[in-house]
Amino acid sequence: MKQLLAFFLLVPSLLAAQPPSDRARHFLDSLRRAQDIPGLSVAVGWKGAVRYAEGFGMADAENQVPVTPSSRFRVGSVSKSITSIALGQLIQSGKLNPEALLHIEGMQAGIQPFTVRQLATHTAGIRHYGPRDGLDCPRHFDRVKDGLVIFLSDSLLFEPGTAFNYSSYGYNLLSYVMEEAAGKPFLTCLQESVFDPLGMRQTCADRVDSVITGRVRFYEHDKQRRLVNAPLVDNSYKWAGGGLLSSPSDLVTMCLGISNILRSDTQQLLFTPQLLKNGKNTGYAYGWRIGKDTGGRAIRHHGGVSEGGRTFLLVYPEHDLVLAVAANMSGVSINLPEMETLASFFLSK
């Protein structure tokens, strides 16, 4: 731990005189080697386009296939940020009212109704993953609705709007609500309203039964710190909450292109952190964490953790800067401090 801390303190000063992309390259490759990450990918964009994208290490360590900027990684909960853009389209078109009270078939009788907004902002009272969910034994669900069986009959954790509880299951339920409003499957909704119009060609569902070009292999370290394959998972129960594949370039492209598909008032709705009934600010909007970096700059961001994956997406809206990093290993330390270090190279350009 002391060695890793010393690494992060030393690297920025050593790289200060280099161009931003060179500084980023050295920083990320050093980070990858320090944590023994098989493969890592980065993209940085400003002024409406991806300006820097690069892969490091191996997408497939066994067959020595290198990571490229188009390699597809598990993005985990960054799927929520993608889902929020599609939700914004449905709200903007009048197909969904964020304040509409939802009555979901299959939920406990007498349960207090919650709104679309509360589902999207983790204030509805839906629980998160639990030890008895059976997710260690992969199950496939053909429909979004079928996957709701894992949690739908459970009680709410609290009265909607009175507390914050991060919940991927809440986003699974949200995706079902979106399907009903759009009149089409959730993944089709994403494809037609987000992926196609924004040119996100590496983003799709992480289907275990499909051959997906460019999908990386997924890894973890065992107790002896040896590289091993990550456990098999089937993410069909949580496309919206954490089941998508993407590349950092696609994630950056999405953020740079949001204004092409969402009006400013819709963006303001999606990117405004929520207040609880007691007035407390949750720091979370519709699929995005909202705050400031250590320098006081406004940011919105989201991280994603998955079996054999770690992804982080960071946006500086006032500086027109977007950064995304993805790795194909569990337990990777790519968090906000590392992302701020990466951003510092480009904020000073």
Residues of the chain with pLDDT under 50: none
Distance, in Å, from the CA atom of 82 to the CA atom of 68, rounded to the nearest integer, reads 22
Phi, psi (5° rounding) for residue 175? -65, -30
Distance, in Å, from the CA atom of 319 to the CA atom of 259, rounded to the nearest integer, reads 15
pLDDT reported for residue 103: 86
pLDDT reported for residue 111: 83
Enumerate the H helices of 215-300 as residue ranges.
239-242, 248-261, 264-270
pLDDT reported for residue 348: 77
Beta bridge partners of 101: 115
Q: Could you tell me which of 237, 257, 246 has the C-alpha nearest to residue 89?
A: 257
Contact 125, 158 (CB under 8 A): yes
Q: Could you tell me which of 99, 72, 106 has the C-alpha nearest to residue 309?
A: 72
Q: How many CB atoms lie within 10 A of CB 180?
A: 16
Q: Rounded to two decimals, what is the model's pTM?
A: 0.93
Ordered by where they begin, the domains of the chain are 2-347 (3.40.710.10)
Alpha carbon 313 to its chain centroid, in Å, reads 7
pLDDT reported for residue 18: 83
Angle at alpha carbon of residue 42, lines to 38 and 47, rounded to 5°:
175
Q: Could you tell me which of 292, 325, 272, 311 has the C-alpha nearest to residue 120?
A: 272
3-class DSSP assignment, residue 118 = helix
